[in-house]
Amino acid sequence: MRRKALLAVVTAALFMAGCAGTNEGSAPQAEGIVVHGDWTLDVYNVDGSFDRTIEFHNEVVKTGLLEIAFALAGGRNVGGWEVALDSDAGEPDGPCGDDTTPIACSAPASTQVAASGPIVMLQLESTLTAERDGSIGNVASFVETCNPASPDCPANMTSWQFSEKSIRQSGEAAGEQFYVTAGQTIQTTVEFSFTSG
């Protein structure tokens, strides 16, 4: 089912890119597919009250594009998606784990596919809870795939990074991460839009 959803998104984007040719006499348009990621992190306190929203954009990484290409060619079965929130590299202060070994928080993400005009969208939604006081300065999304020719597919999936972003909270001094406290919930929504460029 998830493989069909991903293939539907990419196939629709490819179709739109093909249909976006130029009319005779008009200026040539750029060709290709553009993929953008729009992230929204809604942070809630332990008592359920709203704390803040952090929004930012990112792009798909090369491994993500390769996995789409392999899936379109029939060389991958697509499994689940997940999102991860972590501190910046070199600053071991992630919001999960314990005080001795802070790590990133990660959780499976639900998926939805939608189309509106020339845009096809894949939406990921996930809820994570900070296990400790920590910082978030890096986010990533992952997709699980396996080679359908492998005898252990789909039982044994490999997780591939689809997108990544080093973030900074708006309004804070450059170079600072944003902080969460133990028990806060981070509702994460990622919208990947596919448009003809």
Domain residue limits, the chain: 2-22+30-196
Q: For residue 184, what pLDDT band results from cuts at 50, 70 and 90?
A: very high
Q: How far is residue 177's CA from residue 92's CA, in Å, rounded to a whole number?
A: 12
Angle between helices 62-72 and 2-19 (to 10 degrees): 90
The residues near 100 (Cβ < 8 Å, ≥ 6 apart) are none
Q: Return the pLDDT at 100.
A: 82
CA 167 and chain centroid, separation = 14
Tell whether omega for the bond before 154 is within 30 degrees of 0, i.e. cis: yes
Beta-carbon neighbour count of residue 82 at 10 Å?
Answer: 18
Q: For residue 182, what pLDDT band results from cuts at 50, 70 and 90?
A: very high
| More confident of the two residues 46 and 11 | 46
Q: What percent of the chain has pLDDT over 70?
A: 77
Top-confidence range, 6-10, 15-19, 130-134:
130-134
Q: How far is residue 42's CA from residue 192's CA, in Å, rounded to a whole number?
A: 18
Q: Return the pLDDT at 4.
A: 54
Model pTM above 0.75: yes
For the chain, give the mean pLDDT. 81
Q: Residues 26-70: pLDDT tens digits?
A: 444 556 788 889 999 999 999 999 999 988 888 788 888 888 889
Q: Return the pLDDT at 29.
A: 53
Report the candidate in 137, 130, 128 with the shortest Cα–Cα distance to residue 97.
130
**Are the beta carbons of 9 and 194 closer than 8 angstroms?**
yes
**Are the beta carbons of 107 and 126 closer than 8 angstroms?**
yes
Q: How far is residue 101's CA from residue 89's CA, in Å, rounded to a whole number?
A: 14
7: pLDDT strictly greater than 90: no
Q: Return the pLDDT at 168.
A: 57
142: pLDDT strictly greater than 50: yes
Average pLDDT (11-36) is 52
| More confident of the two residues 91 and 131 | 131
Q: For residue 170, what pLDDT band results from cuts at 50, 70 and 90?
A: very low
Per this entry, what is the length of the chain?
197
Angle among Cα 183, 166, 53 to the nearest 5 degrees reads 45
